[in-house]
Amino acid sequence: MKEKAKAVNTYILINIILILIFVLVAGLGYMYWKMYGTSEIIVAGENTETTNIAKENVEKVEESKKIEAITPSITDNATNEATVANKQIKYYYNQLDNNSKKIYDSIERNIENLKTGKYTINLPSDLSSLIADGNDFSALNKCFQSAWDAIIMDMVELFYIDISKVELNIKTVTSGNSTKYYLTIGAKENSNYLEDGFENEEDVKDASTKLNNIRNGIIAQLTGDTYNKILQIHDCIVDNIEYGTEISGHNSYNIYGALVNKSAVCEGYAESFKYIMDALNIPCILVVGEATNSNGTTESHEWNYVQIDGKWYAVDTTWDDPILVNGYLTNNIKYKYFLVGSNVIDTNHFPNGKVSQNGISFTYPALEKEKYTNGN
């Protein structure tokens, strides 16, 4: 009897468990149907309306799309900075040797600390192997200079660093027949390495916030496809920056002078263009060399190369900016150097890749021969 009762109880228990499992599965199925059963499935490639809208935007922009000048603000930070995080390609970094890359990496890891203007960066100890017998520091100095050349060309947001105020410090410790070197990067004696006009970390952070807000404001107004966004950025820079050094002083050579003070020379134009392009993840690099103007004068110059549809083209916003002479515009052609090929830019622009006298010579990608034609 006991065994029979035990079997009955086991049978009842199994049935209860099965019923509970059934109820649970049915409940989950009902919940899934309520949540997802009416969802619309979109097949990639079938949304032809998107293509048509993009085409309409192209036509409107090519007629005239003017981006309003953005007034810098420290407190107005409506757009999340993460949405326009700098995604620049490390074009110059990729041309460095391994030792120079170690210095570049050390600097990059300490970008926030550099805003103090006084922070000292410790370099990897194995770099001391570059010091030749007789305390020959030439190879080390070349790596140091090349690393700085690369980082200021890749990262235009380091506008607040005055490279002339930075030095490589080498501390030598000798014990018997053994000599050790301790390498650091820091400010020259009795100074900091911030650009003129920036006294401390707070000044740098305020300036960076202004620039970020300006960039966010410009990006918020962009419409259309990649070509049209590049076009609108080009126009925004040309329309809102005045060529010269009177207002911005030393900052005329960087993005702060160009975008905040709205006065700059070629470096400020080209670096501002890259600063905005980087936030959109559009490949864009700075190009250094010489250029011969219409008067036959050859001078140092800086402009941009941009990659679109996997091909490289040149942009020179400085030379596309009409200049006032005696109240008259000297040039009303604003797109003469916009996404042009080698058959145009190579006639008067001569890249040499020499960012500084003591650093390495960098190379540049080959340009397409003809200018970019949207839609082709």
With 0-12 / 13-18 / 19 or more C-beta atoms within 10 angstroms meaning exposed / middle / buried, residue 348 is middle
Per-residue pLDDT band for 346 (boundaries 50, 70, 90) equals very high
Q: Which residues does 233 contact at the CB level (< 8 Å), separation at least 6?
A: 67, 218, 222, 273, 276, 277
Task: Please tell me the least confidently modeled range out of 40-54, 241-255, 289-303.
Answer: 40-54
**Mean pLDDT computed over every residue of the chain:** 81
Q: Which residue in 320, 315, 340, 346 sits closest to 331, CA to CA?
A: 320
pLDDT at residue 53 in the model: 24
Q: Provide the CB-side half-sphere exposure for 314 (13 A, CA).
A: 29
Rounded Cα–Cα distance for residues 131 and 55 (Å): 59
Helix (H) or strand (E) holding 146: helix 138-154
Give the chain's length.
376
Per-residue pLDDT band for 230 (boundaries 50, 70, 90) equals very high
pLDDT over threshold 90, residue 148 = yes
With 0-12 / 13-18 / 19 or more C-beta atoms within 10 angstroms meaning exposed / middle / buried, residue 8 is exposed
Both tokens of 26, joined, read: 């049915």
pLDDT, average across residues 24-41: 41
Q: Which of 75-84, 97-106, 325-334 has the highest mean pLDDT?
A: 97-106
Task: Please tell me the least confidently modeled range out of 98-102, 167-171, 372-376.
Answer: 372-376
Q: Which of 19-23, 169-173, 359-363 has the highest mean pLDDT?
A: 359-363
pLDDT at residue 50 in the model: 25
pLDDT, average across residues 242-259: 85
Both tokens of 200, joined, read: 């401390």
Instruction: Please report, for residues 317, 327, 354, 365, the alpha-carbon distance to residue 87 in angstroms, rounded to integers and kept in the order given.
Output: 21, 41, 24, 19
Regarding predicted confidence, which is higher, 178 or 80?
178
Q: Which residues does 164 contact at the CB level (< 8 Å), separation at least 6?
A: none
With 0-12 / 13-18 / 19 or more C-beta atoms within 10 angstroms meaning exposed / middle / buried, residue 330 is exposed
- Strand ranges for the chain from DSSP E: 121-122, 166-175, 178-187, 242-243, 263-264, 284-292, 298-308, 311-315, 324-325, 328-329, 349-351
Regarding predicted confidence, which is higher, 242 or 209?
209
Predicted TM-score of the model (pTM): 0.76
DSSP string, 95-129: GS-HHHHHHHHHHHHTHHHHTTS-PPEEPPGGGGG
**Cβ(364)–Cβ(287) below 8 Å:** yes
pLDDT at residue 176 in the model: 86
Q: Which residue in 154, 139, 138 sits closest to 104, CA to CA?
A: 154
pLDDT at residue 189 in the model: 79
pLDDT at residue 250 in the model: 76
pLDDT, average across residues 43-50: 26
Q: Is 161 in a helix, a strand, or coil?
A: strand
pLDDT, average across residues 55-84: 38
Ordered by where they begin, the domains of the chain are 61-76+200-206+214-351 (3.10.620.30), 89-154+161-187 (no CATH)
**Cβ(230)–Cβ(176) below 8 Å:** no
DSSP string, 322-349: --EETTEES---S-TTSSB-HHHHTTTE
Q: Which residues does 71 contact at the CB level (< 8 Å), separation at least 6?
A: none
Instruction: Please report, for residues 161, 291, 293, 298, 300, the alpha-carbon distance to residue 370 in angstroms, rounded to integers and kept in the order given.
Output: 38, 19, 21, 24, 25
Per-residue pLDDT band for 212 (boundaries 50, 70, 90) equals very high
pLDDT at residue 32 in the model: 38
Q: What is the pLDDT of residues 175-201, one digit of tens each?
A: 888 888 999 999 997 789 999 899 999
pLDDT at residue 326 in the model: 53
pLDDT, average across residues 347-358: 96
